[in-house]
Amino acid sequence: MTRILGEPILSVDNISLAFGGVKALANVSFHVREHEILAIIGPNGAGKSSMLNVINGVYRPQVGEIRFRDRAWKRMVPYEAARLGIARTFQNIALFKGMSVLDNIMTGRNLKMRSGLIRQALYWGPNLREEIEHREKVEHIIDFLQIEHVRKTPVGRLPYGLQKRVELARALAAEPTLLLLDEPMAGMNVEEKQDMSRFVLDVNEEFGTTIVLIEHDMGVVMDISDRVVVLDYGRKIGDGTPDEIRANPEVIAAYLGVAH
């Protein structure tokens, strides 16, 4: 795998986030370079998901700044983050249960749709053209993730692994520059994990998408990521290539386990 990593596209500076007395994140800084796959690891409750939530504006940190491409902000709302090109998936599948696979993925493109209410009510001419144009893009993603056979199925009826894939498809539909994946392989068997890893790598390679993912499976993390950031109790205790992380004594102590 030889990919050219670009300049830092996202930098997180000195982020601190507290819920009442609970410090979820303390002074965390790291950066992500363009086209990179960065994994965030850490024990349960280390603040990994909180970190993603800070990046795309679901949580607002008390201290610190986020810089994404040429914009910097202290506070962000999810809508703006999405417009800037940040998409994400959730730890617990957050699909729209009442909608079909196709509609779920089409929803990922809502941001790019311009037709007004009246045009939508007519569903003719410009609106129909727009719908079909986006449908073509969506079909490309459906094809890419190999979910053609379920496109009209309500997502609630799909098995878990496929639902995860649909969620990835929905995030991809927005054509993000930065993709945040919160435990994309949680609860999957080995085969499904292999498939998912392959898809993550393919997305990175084919679309050049920068990826930040949280994952617990160390094998997967070490295999697919360019760099790993380790959080423990809201602090960053490691940052480096998989090999460096494997050798980092603090990380081993906190997370991988230490021989007594």
Interface with another protein by CB under 8 A: which residues? 56, 58, 78-79, 81-83, 87-88, 90, 94-99, 103, 106-108, 110-111, 113, 115, 117, 120-123, 127-128, 131-132, 135-136, 139, 170-171, 174
Between 54 and 220, CB nearer to another protein:
54
Between 166 and 224, CB nearer to another protein:
166
State the minimum distance, in angstroms, from the CB of residue 182 to another protein: 11
State the minimum distance, in angstroms, from the CB of residue 203 to another protein: 17
Between 3 and 135, CB nearer to another protein:
135
CA distances to 41, 68, 72, 94 from 59, rounded to whole Å, are 19, 16, 16, 17
155 neighbors 104 (Cβ within 8 angstroms): yes
Q: Please state, in angstroms and rounded to a whole number, the distance separating the CA atoms of residues 243 and 9.
A: 23
Helix axes 160-173, 190-207, angle to 10 degrees: 10
Between 89 and 248, CB nearer to another protein:
89
State the minimum distance, in angstroms, from the CB of residue 52 to another protein: 10
208 neighbors 35 (Cβ within 8 angstroms): yes
Cβ neighbours for 124, distance < 8 A, ≥ 6 positions apart:
none
Between 154 and 242, CB nearer to another protein:
154
Structure tokens at 107: 């929803």
State the minimum distance, in angstroms, from the CB of residue 132 to another protein: 5
Between 126 and 219, CB nearer to another protein:
126
What three-state secondary structure class fits 236? strand
> CB neighbours (10 Å) of residue 16?
16
74 neighbors 12 (Cβ within 8 angstroms): no
Between 107 and 194, CB nearer to another protein:
107
Q: Please state, in angstroms and rounded to a whole number, the distance separating the CA atoms of residues 245 and 251.
A: 7
Cβ neighbours for 83, distance < 8 A, ≥ 6 positions apart:
111
Nearest Cα neighbor of 235 from 219, 255, 221 is 255
